[in-house]
Amino acid sequence: MYRGPAICRTSLAIAAISVALWTPRPARAWNGEAHQLIAWIAEERLSVKAKAGVAELLGDANLSDAEVVSWADEIRRERRETAPWHYVNIPVDAEGYDAKRDG
């Protein structure tokens, strides 16, 4: 039984997938929309007291407003020493934030 073309197509498909997987692609950092999405989720989960604190700091702005969510990125570029303040690495199995361990 002749299977030439099917084997050829399969080999080409495997080759194409291999090239796609092994071709370097630039890393994609989180864009503004992703920051806004995370801020929106965080905003929805804030306690009443925390929402009041945010309102005191931001006035009429929302935590998920574009200029609010990008602020830390802008400051980090201008003042490199603030870069570690931009994020916290909390272990997956941790129960919560621990200032001594995480920050």
Residue 39: inside a domain: yes
Contact (CB, 8 A) for 37 and 66: no
Q: Provide the domain count of the chain.
A: 1
Domain limits for position 66: 32-97
pLDDT band at 47 (very low <50, low <70, confident <90, very high): very high
Q: What is the pLDDT of residue 27?
A: 47
Mean pLDDT confidence for 49-66: 89
Q: What is the pLDDT of residue 70?
A: 83
* Higher-pLDDT residue of 30, 72: 72
Residue 55 predicted with pLDDT over 80: yes
Mean pLDDT confidence for 5-27: 61
Residue 81: inside a domain: yes
Torsion of CA 92, 72, 66, 55, to 10 degrees: 90
Ramachandran class of 47: left when φ > 0, alpha when ψ lies in -120 to 50, beta otherwise: beta
Nearest one of 45, 48, 49, 43 to 63, comparing CA atoms = 43
Read off the pTM.
0.50
Label residue 69 exposed, middle or buried (CB < 10 Å: 0-12, 13-18, 19+): buried
Residue 42: inside a domain: yes
Q: What is the pLDDT of residue 5?
A: 53
